[in-house]
Chains A and B, each alone.
Chain A
Amino acid sequence: DAGITQSPRYKITETGRQVTLMCHQTWSHSYMFWYRQDLGHGLRLIYYSAAADITDKGEVPDGYVVSRSKTENFPLTLESATRSQTSVYFCASIDPIDTEAFFGQGTRLTVV
C-alpha cells in the first residue's frame, strides 16, 4: 500500500530501555520528519531529514537519535527512555514541490 506507515502503533517500555520507532514511506519523498504530540504543546519537531544520510535537529532533540540510510526509512531511537518521553509520535514526509506533508497514524509510547 502506498503511504507512510509507522510501527508499532502502541508501545509500553520501561525507564532506561532503548526503543526504536519505525517509519516507512513509499513515495520516495526526500524530506522526512519526526514530531511528538503532547497536550498543550501541539506537535513539536524532534528531528528531520532532507535526504538519505542528511539529518538535523528540530525543537526538542534531546534523548533521541535518528538515522536515514535509505530514503524510504527514518527510524527514531530513544537511547534511554524516560517518563517525559511518554507521548504520541508522528512521522511525516513532504514532497517539496507539492508542499503537502503526509503523516503516519502515530505511535503511542508509554514509558513506565
Chain B
Amino acid sequence: AQSVTQLGSHVSVSEGALVLLRCNYSSSVPPYLFWYVQYPNQGLQLLLKYTTGATLVKGINGFEAEFKKSETSFHLTKPSAHMSDAAEYFCAVRPGGATNKLIFGTGTLLAVQP
C-alpha cells in the first residue's frame, strides 16, 4: 500500500535559517509528489509538485524540493526562513496508474523564531 512518512511533527527554525522538512514515500509505481501548506483556519494551498522530468522542483514562496527515487524521498527546503513561513506543511503522494487519490502524510508544523 502507498504511504507517506513525514519525519518530525514539529520543526522550529530561526528566521533566516535553512528550512528542511522531510518526506519519504512508498509506492509501487512512479508517483506524483506534492507539498501543500496550510495556514491557520484555512484550506490547503499547493506549494509545488513533481510529476515527471526535472527532479528539482521549485515552488512558490522560495520553496523547492528534490525527488530522489533511490531514497524514495521528496524533502522540502528553503534557504532562508521568514516569519510568514510559519504554518503546517503536508507531503502527499498520488500513486501512479489510474487512481487520482492523494495520500497525505501526518504533517509538519513549522515554527519560525525571531
Q: Give the B-binding residues of A (Cβ under 8 A).
A: 31, 33, 35, 40-45, 48, 50, 58, 90, 92, 94, 96, 99-101, 103-106
Within the complex, the shortest CB–CB distance from B54 to chain A, in Å, comes to 15
Chain B facing A: main interface SS: strand
A100 touches B49 (CB 8 A): yes
Given known pairs A40-B106, A42-B106, the reply for A99 and B51 (CB within 8 Å) is yes
Say yes or no for B95: interface residue by CB 8 A criterion: no
27 residue pairs of the A-B complex, CB under 8 angstroms, read: A33-B102, A35-B104, A40-B9, A40-B106, A41-B106, A42-B6, A42-B90, A42-B106, A42-B107, A43-B44, A43-B90, A43-B104, A45-B101, A90-B43, A94-B100, A94-B102, A96-B100, A99-B32, A101-B34, A101-B44, A103-B36, A103-B43, A103-B45, A105-B42, A105-B43, A106-B41, A106-B43
Residue total for B at the interface (Cβ-Cβ under 8 A): 24
Chain A facing B: main interface SS: strand
Q: Which residues of A contact B46 (CB under 8 A)?
A: 100-101
Q: Give the A-binding residues of B (Cβ under 8 A).
A: 6, 9, 32, 34, 36, 41-46, 49, 51, 90, 92, 94, 100-107
Contact of A42 among B32, B94, B104 (CB under 8 A): B104
A58 touches B43 (CB 8 A): no
B104 touches A99 (CB 8 A): no
Select from chain B the residue with minimum beta-carbon distance to A32. Answer: B100
A-B pairs, 5 with minimum CB distance: A42-B106, A103-B43, A43-B104, A103-B44, A42-B104
A99 touches B106 (CB 8 A): no
Q: Which residues of A contact B92 (CB under 8 A)?
A: 101
A50 touches B100 (CB 8 A): yes
**Distance, CA A94 to CA B103, complexed state (A):** 13
Q: Which residues of A contact B101 (CB under 8 A)?
A: 33, 45, 48, 58
A31 touches B43 (CB 8 A): no
Indicate the member of B44, B51, B103 with the most A CB atoms within 10 Å.
B44
